[in-house]
Structure 1
Amino acid sequence: MSRMIAKVNLLPWREEGRKRYRQRFGWMLGSAVFAIVLLVGMGGWLLDGQLALQKGRNSRIDQEITLLENKLSLLPEMDVQREALLKRLSVITDIQKGRNHITQLLSLLPGLVPQGVYLEDISLTGNRVKFSGRGESNGHLATLLANAEQSEWVNDVTMHSIVRANEKQALIRFKASFELVSEPAAGNVKERR
């Protein structure tokens, strides 16, 4: 048996083992290179996809920015229109208040003017009411002033002049004014005496 072992030539077997090893190594190396190329290719493809998606998002943002800039450029014009509308509303409100002042004044006068006092002229400018007329006596005029001062709709009552030209003249001429209140404040209500 030992002779048989001595005659066995291991060189071809070793050579064939090396050949198989090289083939396996080549296949493994080729597979690894293929896998790396595949991974790099997929990574590039994914990056290109993400880049294209981001470019699409950026263009959408640019479009929205352009739209917003267009809208913002209209703001000064809209502010001018808003101011014009506010002025119109203010005029309408003033007209409406003026209409209410006249109605309020006409409903208030019968309670303010006592018998013996005769109004000849009444003017309303804003909230200020100026009136003039004649009275039978100073007492009647004092009653007029007292009624005005006690009214919750009247402020700042002022008698400007009281004139009797002579003793023969029966009526006394006067001029007065007061401020008409739109709505009396709760704490501003005056008690009737």
Structure 2
Amino acid sequence: MNLRLNLLPWRERQRLVELRNFRLVFLGSLFAAFVVVMLVDRFAHLRLKQQAAAGLQRQQQLQSLDGQVARLEQLREAHAGLRRQVDALGALRSSQQGVPQLLMEIELAMPHGMQLTRLDVQGDRLQINGLAVSPAVLAQFMRDLQRSPILLDLELKHVLARAGGDAFSLVARVVAS
């Protein structure tokens, strides 16, 4: 066993002071490191809370924007529906503009002794049913209708002799004016 003897007491005191200083510096460094770690942890938690709050706020903004987009889509669909209705009404209006002219042409072509019982317009097809007092009146009516610029392909479908006159059915194609 080898014991080390220190014959100078001031060296022992100096060694103890250095050991105490080392312990103080070590404990101080350990405490400072602990404080730094705690501060970093606290800042990290604070930053995490801020990011969570910002994420929640962005989520709410996205939900609000999604609601606005949904309302915009509904408005677009409603606008498209209204546009289709306006177009359909325009088409009806344009097809109705020819009806008064068609009725005027039929009225001008109707001779005395003729009675119409049915007038049916479906698309570009016209069907006229009526009663004529004689075949000559019916022939005159057909000649006058053939002169009309809006009626094409006039065709007599059938004629039935009755007591009050001849029942007839005519078909023609209507052209837009």
Distance 2:8 2:62 in 1: 79
Query: Aligned AA for 1:52?
Result: K
Match of 1:189 in 2: none
Identity %: 15
**CA 1:179–1:14 in 2, change beyond 3 Å: closer, same or farther?**
farther
**CA 1:174–1:124 in 2, change beyond 3 Å: closer, same or farther?**
closer
2:173 aligned with 1:159: no
Q: Give 5+ residue unaligned stretches, structure 1.
A: 1-8, 110-117, 166-172, 183-193
**CA 1:181–1:99 in 2, change beyond 3 Å: closer, same or farther?**
closer
2:8 aligned with 1:11: yes
Match of 2:109 in 1: 119
Q: Which of 58, 82, 88 does residue 85 from structure 1 map onto?
A: 82
**CA 1:101–1:47 in 2, change beyond 3 Å: closer, same or farther?**
farther
Q: Report how far residue 83 of structure 1 moved.
A: 8.2
Distance 2:156 2:172 in 1: 8
Check conservation: 1:163, 1:174, Cα contact below 8 A: yes
Q: Report how far residue 41 of structure 1 moved.
A: 1.9
Check conservation: 2:109, 2:141, Cα contact below 8 A: no
Distance 1:137 1:158 in 2: 11
Q: Which of 20, 25, 37 does residue 40 from structure 1 map onto?
A: 37
**CA 1:10–1:99 in 2, change beyond 3 Å: closer, same or farther?**
farther
1:13-162 counterparts in 2 under 5 A?
A: 13-64=10-61, 67=64, 85=82, 88-89=85-86, 91-102=88-99, 119-120=109-110, 125-130=121-126, 134-136=138-140, 144=146, 157=153, 159-161=155-157
Q: Report how far residue 20 of structure 1 moved.
A: 3.3
Q: Report how far residue 22 of structure 1 moved.
A: 1.1
- Note the aligned Cα RMSD (angstroms): 5.0
TM (normalized to structure 2)?
Answer: 0.51
Task: Please say which of residues 73-82 and 126-135 is displaced more in the overlay.
Answer: 73-82
Check conservation: 1:161, 1:175, Cα contact below 8 A: yes
Number of equivalent positions? 149
**CA 1:16–1:101 in 2, change beyond 3 Å: closer, same or farther?**
farther
Check conservation: 2:156, 2:169, Cα contact below 8 A: yes
TM (normalized to structure 1)?
Answer: 0.48
3-state SS of the aligned residue for 1:161?
strand
